[in-house]
Amino acid sequence: MNKNLNDKKVIVGLSGGVDSSVTAMLLKEAGFQVAGVTMSIYDKNNPQSKTRKNACYGCDESEDIREAEKICQQIGIPFYEFDCAADYKKIVLAYFREEYLAGRTPNPCVKCNQLMKFGILPKMAREKGINFDYFATGHYARIKEKNGFYSLQKAVDNTKDQTYFLYRLNQEQLKSTLFPLGNYKKAEVRKIAKEKCLEVFDKPDSQDFYSGDYSDLLQVKPMKGKIVLKNGQILGEHAGFWNFTLGQRKGLGVAYAEPLYVLELIPAKNEVVVGAEAETFAKGCIVYDLSFNLPEEFKNGEYQVKFRSSQNVVPAYLELTNKEELKVTFREPQKAVALGQSLVIYDDDVVVGGGIICLK
């Protein structure tokens, strides 16, 4: 954290969890003038099944907001809550529904970070007359400045690194953002929270953006369809292709001589195509809707990439075929490369950019 000027004002995006709570506390101890802000995003008018805790979007949202408010009271900073439910529905939930019903696998957290947490939330704060120099969150990532250019870099704790979800942040956003936890290990953060008597020191991390039945968000009713092999052989039935994801193995509901994986979803036919593990590997893919964060033009060559947030980086040769598409050739074939997912590009610890997978 190299922007610790004591006269600077910072708003911290709070979730009610340990990471954002420690972020706010560290910034206040560093001498910043700190305020906590949080988004209310759950649409209380939509009847949806009961969700489990530890998801970003769920019916227990009010508990997290109250915890965030309590943390602010304990730390001694102002707290503000903003109703962002309408924007979230229009930006994140609509995108999630459209992608899923098109047979693709969306990244709602990427969309939320770019347009909601680092977009709508600080914008609303300014509109309400809250003046600030920086916006901070509890993400595990780092920002480095050189010659006026801001690069997004992996966190010290590689197991918690969240740059995959932040790759679409632009220069203006990075310039005014602080990630105080980028140089900490997760265990260190929990230790700090416990030593400072923060009640959330042992609160579990959020595991997904929604923990209920996706059918709630998709607003669809069960519809019978077929589970088939590539040759068209019917193996069984399902209640809707949207209940499956590419690469899925468990819960297919069919018996076969060898383990089967979801290879393709065909919305027009409501079909789920399955096959052997060997059929799940891809030599490469095409990426579009590109977003680069470079001080100069992107250069073709070998980089490290991630096409799932939980995986380690893998080497690949990248070629910009035109201004809108990137051809990706993996050094070794990769399993379950899903259409609609983000592919994020790294040069060592630096995030080069990324885009959306459209073809395999």
Q: Dmax over Cα atoms in the chain, in whole Å?
A: 69
pLDDT (average), residues 262-283: 96
Residue 18: name the closest of 187, 244, 236 by CA: 187
- Domains identified in the chain, total number: 3
Residue 354: name the closest of 124, 185, 114 by CA: 114
Beta carbons of 19 and 189 less than 8 angstroms apart: yes
Inside any domain, residue 181: yes
Shared domain check, 57 and 166: yes
CATH number for the domain spanning 16: value is 3.40.50.620
For the chain, give the percent of residues with pLDDT over 70: 95
Residues with Cβ < 8 Å from 193, sequence gap 6 or more? 18, 21, 22, 200, 201
pLDDT digits (tens, 9 = 90+) for 91-130: 999 999 999 999 999 999 999 999 999 999 999 999 999 9
pLDDT bracket for residue 4 (50, 70, 90):
very low
CATH number for the domain spanning 237: value is 2.30.30.280
Q: How far apart are the first and last CA of the chain?
A: 40
Inside any domain, residue 236: yes
CATH number for the domain spanning 313: value is 2.40.30.10
What value does the mean pLDDT of the chain take? Answer: 93
Shared domain check, 237 and 95: no
Count H helices, E strands: the chain? 9, 17
Inside any domain, residue 216: no
CA distance 233 to 227: 9
Residue 79: name the closest of 29, 138, 20 by CA: 20
For residue 335, is pLDDT > 90? Answer: yes
pLDDT bracket for residue 6 (50, 70, 90):
low
pLDDT (average), residues 6-17: 91
pLDDT (average), residues 260-276: 96
Give the DSSP letter string of 10-72.
EEEE--SSHHHHHHHHHHHHTT-EEEEEEEE---TTS--PPPPSSBSSSTTHHHHHHHHHHHH
